[in-house]
């Protein structure tokens, strides 16, 4: 944005020269893109257009960073506190039909207008800012915008149909010819300023020819308004017209700024041409609330790593136009805890951290003392999960499974069958469509959709995803990293294929003690619409629940599939524990082999788990070393387990081991009707 060095120097006489100003602005306030003659091209942050897209605003920044008081600061505060609207009969009628798109509209009716050439000092400033002087009325509107940041427009009152202005949306098929002779077709989503018959201006963007101020103008209406930033941005792009006004309005201005612009324009018009204001309408239904932010010096210093005192911080705030007040009579400002009233034009200040930024900015980032950071060393954890994710990806790809990335959202239909589940979903504040209303609580939804969408092109699908899921627990949002995998195909059952795949994966990533068990109490909370809870196994390791695997529901015609979903945090914890160092026992181990005859329906994992639980202190390991099935065994099979006994504090005797072997035989006979061979 272009600024006049002449006007900045007039507002802040302490400025030494243009080169010094360029360096000072870049160090303490805003980046200067370039300087050409007396024109400064300053790069403003988008959130600072409310106060700094003006010479008064930039001058205040310059003065504050130089440690001097801005001469116009009190005058600005006084103008902002004045009432614009006049009482009595109004010669101008203003109607605002959409108060959301136009939160404030000031229309000031003025007489004794003498259109002519502008004074040299106004034309000089306009020229330095890249604007072409036209006449004193238009030039004053532009000058006041440069000075205050409030875009203004002047209508010729005698050209208004019915002496009224209406702020409304354009009618379908309406057209307007702008001041620079562009012919624009309007649509109903565009805001316009109209009289009783025709649109006169595209609100916040460009005026039209119908009510143009010319050399015959005797009476004018000054417009100072506030418009919705999104509406102005969209309209400006739609009509392909970018102006100084649209650049400001599309970045959110304070409605209070309209007061400043209207009064300042009136003052200059009276001073330069002796104009008389006969009435003013101010439609401002929802006034901007006063913003107060609590400031705590101790938290500020802790956050910034500084040692500012209360006096220094207060000085910085007051130089910027903030008002300081004690929280109560018992706590003076000198204690470092006080209330800061934010100037109405500073729309960027919302949080104490914003105040911290102002403090350190005025102090100067380059003036901060360098110090080595103090941090706490934490044990490895997050890195272990990253390593595990990479390992799972590598192994599954080598096993022929494709990785997929699905949306992190689910549609409005999710959980409609269960009100309790619906309450636990994390809803988006502003969803982009009905298909993306909630954060996903399970990976099963996306994997199920992958099968459905790919079944038209392939006879089999093998896919996995590692991603985050979200759900509410006791009103807090919990975020978990999960690993999901799906195997599906036409005409072939995939349940045992998936189980085998998982076993192979667990072996490769170093998780050896895994059991697949039935547990009806651990049904997947959010995957119900996608998997069959009746044909599901829970996946456990070291007595801890890791996840589940189950057959798919609602698979494509003639397709069968199974889905597994596992908790990455639980997997990481178990695998890291599996690799932890344990010193070798000083005492010898005793190895016994146990052969049993059991039903083919008995699960090997359950048998191994029950053997281990007979004596957790002495049974070091249990492995299946042989399996034999034959039709002559009448639906039974022979299993041989190798059991290793070892103590960390003594040499075991045969009597102790024999006692445990007898207990094992009794447990297996009771639970599985096992016969020891």
Cα–Cα distance for residue pair 599/349, rounded to 1 Å = 73
Give first-to-last CA distance, the chain, whole Å. Answer: 92
Query: Helix 382-398 to helix 495-509 angle, to the nearest 10 degrees?
Result: 130
Cα–Cα distance for residue pair 454/472, rounded to 1 Å = 32
From residue 541, give the alpha-carbon distance in Å to each of 388, 511, 513, 538.
16, 8, 6, 10
Element spanning 431, H or E: none
Asked whether residue 296 is marked as a ligand-binding residue, the answer is no
Interacting residues of 637 by C-beta distance below 8 A, sequence separation 6+ = 597, 598, 599, 600, 627, 628, 629
As given in the structure block, the two tokens for residue 492 are 């072939």
Asked whether residue 348 is marked as a ligand-binding residue, the answer is yes
Mapping DSSP to helix (H, G, I), strand (E, B) and coil, where does residue 205 land?
coil
Cα–Cα distance for residue pair 315/89, rounded to 1 Å = 47
Strands 104-111 and 175-177: unpaired
As given in the structure block, the two tokens for residue 249 are 């309005």
As given in the structure block, the two tokens for residue 607 are 């048998």
Asked whether residue 354 is marked as a ligand-binding residue, the answer is yes
- Nearest alpha carbon to residue 608 among 659, 550, 542: 542
Given a contact cutoff of 8 angstroms between Cβ atoms, the answer to whether 547 and 566 are in contact is yes
| Tokens 């000058």 -> residue | 143
The radius of gyration of the chain from alpha carbons, rounded to an integer in Å, stands at 38
Phi, psi of 349, deg, nearest 5: -95, 110
User: Other CB atoms closer than 10 Å to residue 105's CB: what's the count?
Assistant: 24
Q: What share of the chain is helix, strand, coil (3-state, %, to 5)?
A: 35, 30, 35
Give the angle 347-351-355 at the CA atoms, nearest 5°: 85
Asked whether residue 479 is marked as a ligand-binding residue, the answer is no
Mapping DSSP to helix (H, G, I), strand (E, B) and coil, where does residue 355 land?
helix
Interacting residues of 429 by C-beta distance below 8 A, sequence separation 6+ = none
Cα–Cα distance for residue pair 412/101, rounded to 1 Å = 29
- Nearest alpha carbon to residue 108 among 281, 265, 259: 281
User: Other CB atoms closer than 10 Å to residue 476's CB: what's the count?
Assistant: 7
Cα–Cα distance for residue pair 530/38, rounded to 1 Å = 69
**Which residues are part of a known binding site?**
348, 354, 357-358
**Which residues are part of a known binding site for Mg(2+)?**
348, 354, 357-358
């Amino acid at each position: 944005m272009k600024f006049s060095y002449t006007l900045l120097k007039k507002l802040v006489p302490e400025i030494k020269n243009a080169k010094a100003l360029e360096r000072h602005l870049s160090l303490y306030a805003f980046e200067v893109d370039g300087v050409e003659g007396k024109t400064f091209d300053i790069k403003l942050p988008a959130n600072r257009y409310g106060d700094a897209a003006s010479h008064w605003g930039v001058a205040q920044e310059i003065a504050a960073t130089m440690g001097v008081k801005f001469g116009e600061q009190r005058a600005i505060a006084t103008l902002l506190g004045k009432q614009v609207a006049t009482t009595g009969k109004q010669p101008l009628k203003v109607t605002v039909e959409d108060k959301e798109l136009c939160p404030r509209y000031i229309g000031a009716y003025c007489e004794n207008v003498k259109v002519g050439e502008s004074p040299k000092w106004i034309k000089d400033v306009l020229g330095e800012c890249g604007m072409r002087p036209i006449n004193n009325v238009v030039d004053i509107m532009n000058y006041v915008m440069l000075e205050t940041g409030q875009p203004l427009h002047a209508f010729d009152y005698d050209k208004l149909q019915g002496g009224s202005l209406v702020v409304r949306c354009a009618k379908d098929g309406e057209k307007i010819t702008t001041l620079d002779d562009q012919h624009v077709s309007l649509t109903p989503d565009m805001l316009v300023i109209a009289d009783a018959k025709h649109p006169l201006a595209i609100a916040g963007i460009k005026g039209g020819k119908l009510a143009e101020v010319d050399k015959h103008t005797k009476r004018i209406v000054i417009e100072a308004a506030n418009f919705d930033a999104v509406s102005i941005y969209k309209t400006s792009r739609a009509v392909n017209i970018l102006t100084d006004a649209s650049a400001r309005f599309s970045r959110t201005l304070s409605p209070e700024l309209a007061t400043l612009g209207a009064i300042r324009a009136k003052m200059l018009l009276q001073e330069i041409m002796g104009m008389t204001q006969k009435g003013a309408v101010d439609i401002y239904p929802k006034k901007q609330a006063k913003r107060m932010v609590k400031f705590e010096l101790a938290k500020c210093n802790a956050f910034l790593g500084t040692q500012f005192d209360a006096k220094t911080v207060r000085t910085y705030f007051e130089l910027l136009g903030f008002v300081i007040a004690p929280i109560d009579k018992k706590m003076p400002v000198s204690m470092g805890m006080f209330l800061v009233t934010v100037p109405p034009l500073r729309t960027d200040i919302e949080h104490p951290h914003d105040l911290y930024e102002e403090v350190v900015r005025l102090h100067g980032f380059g003036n901060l003392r360098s110090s080595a950071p103090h941090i706490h060393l934490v044990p490895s954890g997050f890195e272990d999960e990253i390593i595990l994710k990479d390992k799972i990806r590598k192994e599954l790809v080598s096993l022929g499974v494709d990785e997929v990335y699905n949306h992190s959202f689910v549609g409005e239909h999710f959980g409609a069958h269960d009100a309790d589940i619906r309450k636990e979903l994390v809803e988006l504040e502003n969803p982009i469509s009905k298909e993306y209303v909630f954060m996903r609580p399970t990976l099963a939804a996306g994997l199920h959709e992958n099968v459905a969408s790919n079944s038209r092109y392939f006879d089999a699908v093998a896919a996995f995803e590692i991603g985050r899921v979200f759900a509410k627990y006791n009103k807090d949002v919990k975020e978990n990293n999960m690993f999901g995998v799906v195997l599906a195909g036409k005409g072939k059952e995939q349940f045992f294929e998936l189980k085998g795949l998982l076993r192979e994966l667990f072996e490769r990533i170093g998780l050896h003690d895994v059991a697949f068990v039935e547990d009806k109490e651990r049904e997947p909370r959010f995957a119900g619409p996608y998997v069959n809870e009746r044909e599901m196994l829970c996946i456990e390791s070291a007595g801890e629940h890791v996840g589940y695997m189950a057959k798919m529901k609602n698979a494509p015609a003639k397709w069968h599939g199974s889905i597994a979903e596992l908790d990455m945090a639980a997997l990481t914890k178990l695998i890291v524990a599996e690799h932890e160092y344990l010193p070798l026992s000083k005492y010898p181990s005793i190895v016994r082999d146990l052969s049993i005859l059991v039903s083919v329906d008995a699960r090997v994992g359950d048998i191994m788990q029950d053997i281990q639980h007979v004596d957790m202190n002495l049974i070091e390991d249990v492995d299946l070393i042989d399996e034999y099935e034959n039709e002559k065994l009448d639906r039974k099979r022979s299993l041989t387990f190798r059991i290793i006994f070892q103590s960390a504090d003594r040499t075991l005797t045969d009597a102790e081991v024999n006692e445990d072997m007898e207990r094992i035989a009794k447990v297996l006979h009771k639970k599985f009707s096992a016969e020891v061979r």
